[in-house]
Amino acid sequence: MTRIFSGIKPTGHLTLGNYLGAVRQWVKTDQHRGDALFCVVDLHALTVDHDPARVRRLSRQAATLLLAAGLDPTCCTLFVQSHVAEHTRLAYLLECTATDGEMRRMIQYKEKAARERATGGSVRLSLLTYPVLMAADILAYGADEVPVGDDQAQHVELTRDLAMRFNQRYGHAFTVPRAVLPDVAARVMDLQDPLSKMGKSHAETSGIVYLLDDADVVRRKVMRAVTDSGSEVAYDRETQPGVANLLEILAACKGGDSKPDELAAGYDSYGALKKDTAEAVVEVLRPVRERHAELCAEPGYVDEVLRAGAERARGVARPTVDGAYRAIGLLPPV
Ligand code: TYM
């Protein structure tokens, strides 16, 4: 059976980008077509300046939202990264496999480190080594597939390289995984800045749709989206990034075989496109918000899902990580 692993980082409230780029696939297909594990990767949230109480709150919120979006604990395993020690155990072995040059080439590191430095902040060492922890997340579970948005593809490539290098040096220990990207909306852009990714930890929030935004807030954000200087509705990411982003969001929300370029033909004004996109987003998010409110009233249920999830995850990861400890030359405990 195909083993599937993916994760989400509790550094901010979940966005429409997270949903269309990743979570929707987890819910609709991944949890039904393989042995799927989904993880709230809280350790990754410590790689940047953080507030402990906020990370705790956002971790619980992320788990609750994943359930609200439709992850079904009878079909998949949902857990919190820090509840399973195998992630950090394995990360160290992979730090001994990766090189510092590889780490410094990671685009997300370069961007985030530059942003930290520009605001006078210091860069945590863990921000540099973060992709190694991500590789450990994936390799500990022997994942075949990693469903992610486009921004994580480079990290999955690194994971593949580390798995192959480790296997070559020390004997087969890891499955070499591959990234699986959605057909549309693999990179949802900020509505106010369609050249930047819609990111949950950005300071300026008017171009970001959060899963828990009220319907009126969603409508306002979409109706105020920056469009391009022309007036023709065409799907062209290069020359019309704002319009292309709306068309992708609309296609992804409609689902089925909707294609952004075909949808473009049905519009002769930006206003009509924005209106339909806003309503499509509102309809996609409505059941998620409603279920989230119900689940917030049942914290015991969420706790139990996470407890059982961590127990199962430990059972899956431990033999693989123990095997890697032996392979790399560490004396087994007596
Ligand atoms: P994170 O928390 O930033 O995002 C979670 C998932 O959402 C996708 N995503 C997007 N997709 C399309 N458009 C966007 N604007 C957008 N923003 C986010 C991401 O690609 C991701 O799939 N490093 C990871 C978390 C992680 C992980 C892992 C993922 C840690 N360990 C192991 C997979 C496997 C991250 O920061 O994702």
Q: Which domains does the chain have, with CATH numbers?
A: 3-181+299-328 (3.40.50.620), 215-294 (1.10.240.10)
Angle among Cα 149, 155, 160 to the nearest 5 degrees reads 115
* Start-to-end CA span in the chain (Å): 34
Q: Which residue from 326, 334, 328, 312 is spatially nearest to 79, judged by alpha carbons?
A: 312
Contacts of 164 (CB under 8 A, 6+ apart): 176
Closest ligand 1 atom to the C-alpha of 155? 23
Q: Are 17 and 198 in contact (CB under 8 A)?
A: yes
CA of 262 to the centre of ligand 1 (A): 28
Number of CB atoms found within 10 A of residue 114's CB:
10
| d(C-alpha 334, C-alpha 330), whole Å | 12
Q: Which residues pair with 77 in a beta bridge?
A: 37
- State whether the beta carbon of 211 lies less than 6 angstroms from ligand 1: no
Give the count of alpha carbons within 13 A of 159, CB side only. Answer: 31
Q: Which residue from 79, 10, 7, 65 is spatially nearest to 42, judged by alpha carbons?
A: 10
Q: Which residue from 189, 207, 324 is spatially nearest to 249, judged by alpha carbons?
A: 189
Q: Which two tokens stand for residue 225?
A: 């989206």
Q: Using most ligand atoms within 8 A of CB, pick from 8, 20, 82 the residue to mutate for ligand 1.
A: 8
Q: Is 50 exposed, middle or buried (0-12, 13-18, 19+ CB in 10 A)?
A: middle
Q: Token match 């109706």: residue?
A: 223
Q: Which two tokens stand for residue 231?
A: 């007036």
Active site residue 197: yes
Active site residue 112: yes
Exactly one of 197, 254, 259, 274 is catalytic; name it: 197
Angle among Cα 92, 77, 79 to the nearest 5 degrees reads 55
Active site residue 9: no
Give the count of alpha carbons within 13 A of 71, CB side only. Answer: 31
pTM tops 0.75, yes or no: yes
Closest ligand 1 atom to the C-alpha of 138? 32
Kindly give the confidence (pLDDT) of every residue in the chain, 334 residues in length, as a single tens digit, with 9 standing for 90 and above.
999 999 999 999 999 999 999 999 999 999 999 999 999 999 999 999 999 999 999 999 999 999 999 999 999 999 999 999 999 999 999 999 999 999 999 999 999 999 888 988 899 999 999 999 999 999 999 999 999 999 999 999 999 999 999 999 999 999 999 999 999 989 999 999 999 999 987 778 999 999 999 999 999 999 999 998 877 899 999 999 999 999 999 999 998 788 999 999 999 999 999 999 999 999 999 999 999 999 999 989 999 999 999 999 999 999 999 999 999 999 999 8
Q: Using most ligand atoms within 8 A of CB, pick from 151, 157, 211 the residue to mutate for ligand 1.
A: 151
Q: Which two tokens stand for residue 123?
A: 């860069």
